[in-house]
Structure 1
Amino acid sequence: MISQAVAPFEIRRPMQQTEPFVFNSPHSGRVYPDAFLDISRLDRNAIRRSEDYYVDELFASAVQLGAPMLAAQFPRAWLDVNREPYELDPRMFDGPLPSFANVGSMRVAGGLGTIPRLVAENMDIYRGRLSVAEGLSRIDHVYRPYHANLRKMIAQTHVQFGKAILIDCHSMPANVRLAGGSARPDIIIGDRYGASAAHDLSFAAVSVLSELGYYVVRNKPYAGGFITEHYGRPGRGLHALQIEINRGLYVDEVTLEKTAGFELLKADLWEFSARMMAHVRDDLVGQRLAAE
């Protein structure tokens, strides 16, 4: 397990949930147990290269505004909950994997399965092979409870408000460019090309962030991962948007320290969250009036 002293994830709740939103930060965990570091070939700095630095802090205002947040404490390099539960690379383990494991996905091939083989920049994480029991234990004791809680938070929100909007919060390297050019987006909104959220929600997210001065694009190169795809069912009133933030806006990617841009970005994301909530609130009022 990750640690006896630290819970693997936190549910941060407002005094009262007043908005049909759930925020999720699955990759910002920064508790690296000594036992994990002991079996890694990477030092404490290098192993953080896949981390979504401080993203849970950037979106902390969501809780103050009336929406709950689920935030990982465990690091993405140890377990990636933005994958299917059993996307596992057989080359990483000392014995045969269960027959139901998905060993042939593109993410597994790239070293970025449920239990990653690599961190960013293609650096191997482990000195040797993991036991199959260790890998399955991480899934049983952390992955499954994480998703059980996320599923419950979304379901409770849907029951209370008649709809639920999941904002899946991530960051991306500062050097990410759009295909065929040199443009570097500040923020990417992913909705699985319209499959995980209603168009008006995606359009509102892009519009609000653009009005705040950011260069925003949709779906390319990040359209959303397993979480966005799995929980977004717009036809049932369940919407999921992934938001990727350029790390160059707020962190030094060498020292991993926050820069002067952190507080400005945090304030802008407060404004983004508040305006998205107002947009959905107005829409719900309009629906009620139309039904009367």
Structure 2
Amino acid sequence: MHEAERPGTKGTEDAGAEAVAPFEIRRPLQQTEPFVFNSPHSGRIYPESFLNMSRLDRMAIRRSEDHYVDELFADVVQMGAPLLAAQFPRAWLDVNREPYELDPRMFDGPLPPFANIGSMRVAGGLGTIPRLVAENMDIYRGRLSVEEGLSRIERVYRPYHANLRRLIAQTHVRFGKAFLIDCHSMPANVRVAGGNRRPDIIIGDRYGASAAHDVSRAAVSFLSGLGYHVVRNKPYAGGFITEHYGRPGRGLHALQIEINRGLYVDEASLVKTRGFELLKADLAAFVGEMMAYVRDGMSDDRLAAE
């Protein structure tokens, strides 16, 4: 059994429409494990007002979604850990960025001086308010108002991170340690530089900066044992969330997991394939192994050592 909270304000609804919570927290009735799961890019509620601003059709604009990742990890709640899941789409707002990574070319007026307009992610069109979806397709027909962009950050980005921060802090206080698993998917054609084989799963730990090496090595080992081709940090080492919340010296460990969409979804139609249920079961097995490893097989001294 579990319960779902839908905190926040009217984050992604259109005026006059029924309010839609921008994200939800799926909690077990009792948290029994020092884990927090986060799915920041699987949101698939697209406001009509946003679609009307876009030059893309309803299918093309979904190319940046981490399709159904919240469903792939749904079993973690029954296993004793909370799951924070976005309902707003990544194309509308990306919470795996700094709060103000903004592209001045997208807006009809000057941005505030504290905006980070020079990051590599902004240059690539993938800032906090993205300019592009996958395959370098422009999202918007015209410029956005500065007020619109800042409003999304204040109404949705900040409450999202406030809730994620609270979940991690509560877990850390209760168990003396906390493990954040930041859950994502990647296009099926992703390859590791220097190799021809496409990875099934990539574990990112910011090259050891966001989690103890033993934790990320265990994740790679467990997933490999389930038959998946797993690599570490390349080409995805972890984004803002992993970097921002991972503090292994304080017992706060953050891993990013990227799952090849070819394992479970048809990328053209976005329909789940027969591989979905098998992958979901394997991910539950992986989570169970990680929980047992932290609970029984790894000392606090080793967790804090790196």
**Do they fold alike, i.e. is TM over 0.5?**
yes
Cross-structure match for 1:240: 254
SS of the equivalent of 1:156 reads helix
Residue 2, structure 1, aligned to residue 6, structure 2: no
SS in 2 for 1:13: strand
- Are 1:178 and 2:188 an aligned pair? no
What is the deviation of 1:2? 1.1
- Structure 1 equivalent of residue 38 of structure 2: 24
Shift of 1:252: 0.1
Provide Cα deviations, 1:159-196, integer angstroms capped at 9, x if missing partner.
00000000000000000001022110000000000000
Counterpart of 1:87 (choices 93, 101, 106) is 101
Q: In structure 2, how many angstroms separate the alpha carbons of the residues matched to 1:283 and 1:272? A: 15
What amino acid is aligned across from residue 2 of structure 1 in structure 2?
T
The structure 2 residue matched to 1:47, chosen from 55, 61, 84, is: 61
Deviations 1:206-232 (A, max 9, x none): 000000000000000000000000000
Write the distance in 1 (CA, Å) between the matches of 2:130 and 2:36. Answer: 26
Q: Distance in 1 between matches of 2:192 and 2:34?
A: 32
Using the alignment, how far apart are the partners of 2:161 and 2:195 within structure 1? 37
Q: For 2:58 and 2:138, how far apart are their aligned partners in 1? A: 14
Among residues 249, 258, 261, which one is paired with 2:272 in the alignment? 258
Which of 103, 118, 123 lines up with 1:104 in the alignment? 118
The residue number in structure 1 matching 2:202 is: 188
1:121-136 equivalences under 5 Å are 121-136=135-150
Aligned AA (1:264): L
Aligned positions of 1:221-236 closer than 5 A = 221-236=235-250
With the length of structure 1 as denominator, give the TM-score of the two structures: 0.97
Pick 1 or 2: higher relative contact order, CA cutoff 8 A, min separation 6: 1
**Matched letter for residue 168 of structure 2:** I
Return the match for 1:152 from 166, 184, 197.
166
**2:140 maps to 1:140:** no
User: Which aligned pairs between 1:160-175 and structure 2 lie closer than 5 A?
Assistant: 160-175=174-189
Shift of 1:287: 4.9
Deviations 1:88-124 (A, max 9, x none): 0000000000000000000000000000000000000
Q: Distance between the aligned counterparts of 1:211 and 1:64, measured in 2? A: 23
Q: What runs of 5+ residues in structure 1 fail to find an aligned partner? A: none
Amino acid corresponding to residue 134 of structure 2 in structure 1: A
Q: TM-score, normalised by structure 2?
A: 0.93
Cα distance between partner residues in 1 of 2:188 and 2:295 = 34
1:206-263 deviations in Å (ceiling 9; x for gaps): 0000000000000000000000000000000000000000000000000000000000
Once superposed, which parts of structure 1, at least 4 consecutive aligned residues long, lie more than 3 Å away? none
Does 2:278 correspond to 1:268? no
Instruction: Report the Cα distance in structure 1 between the residues aligned to 2:82 and 2:208, rounded to whole angstroms.
Output: 24
**In the alignment, does 2:227 pair up with 1:217?**
no
Task: Write the distance in 1 (CA, Å) between the matches of 2:252 and 2:204.
Answer: 15
Aligned partner of 2:130 among 113, 116, 127:
116
Whole-Å separation in 2 of the counterparts to 1:203 and 1:180:
21
2:27: which partner in 1? 13
Task: Report the counterpart of residue 57 of structure 1 in structure 2.
Answer: 71
In 2: Cα distance, 1:174 partner to 1:90 partner? 32
Number of positions where the alignment pairs a residue of Structure 1 with one of Structure 2: 287
- Secondary structure of the 2:84 match is strand
- Identify the match of residue 72 of structure 1 among 86, 91, 96: 86
What residue identity is the alignment partner of 1:49?
R
